[in-house]
Amino acid sequence: MELEFSGEMWFWRGPAPWHFVTVPEEQCGALAAASPAVTYGWGMIPVTARIGRTSWQTSLWPKDGRYIVPVKAAVRRAEGLEPGEPVTVRLTVAR
């Protein structure tokens, strides 16, 4: 399964701070349907993500009935991203 969407990158200030992009609600249904076949626990969905020319392996995290994409520091640096900026994310769900 492949998805592409745009969203705002946001910063979570928890004890282990991270940057994320939230998957739009209309695409979360397809991900939830695929989840039982690919999840490795806690509803995490392994994916290959791409922003711009940078791709990386990660997992979607379920949050508040949707999914969020963690964006690594190396990706943010390579693509010159800052919190609050809109980004286009391409996802390929692992099988």
pLDDT tens-digit readout, 42-84: 889 999 999 999 999 999 999 999 999 999 999 999 999 999 9
- pLDDT tens track for 1-56: 999 999 999 999 878 789 999 999 999 999 999 898 998 888 899 999 999 999 99
Name which CATH class applies to 2-93: mainly beta
Q: Tell me what pLDDT residue 13 has.
A: 87
Q: Tell me what pLDDT residue 94 has.
A: 83
Q: Where are the beta strands (DSSP E) in 1-95?
A: 2-12, 18-22, 45-51, 54-63, 66-71, 86-93
Structure tokens at 21: 């992009």
Residue 79's identity, in one-letter code, is: E
- What is the CA 31 to chain-centroid distance, rounded? 11
Query: What's the whole-model pTM score?
Result: 0.91
Phi, psi angles (nearest 5°) of residue 6: -115, 145
Please check whether residue 30 is in contact with residue 1, taking contact to mean a CB–CB distance below 8 angstroms: yes
Structural domain boundaries in the chain: 2-93
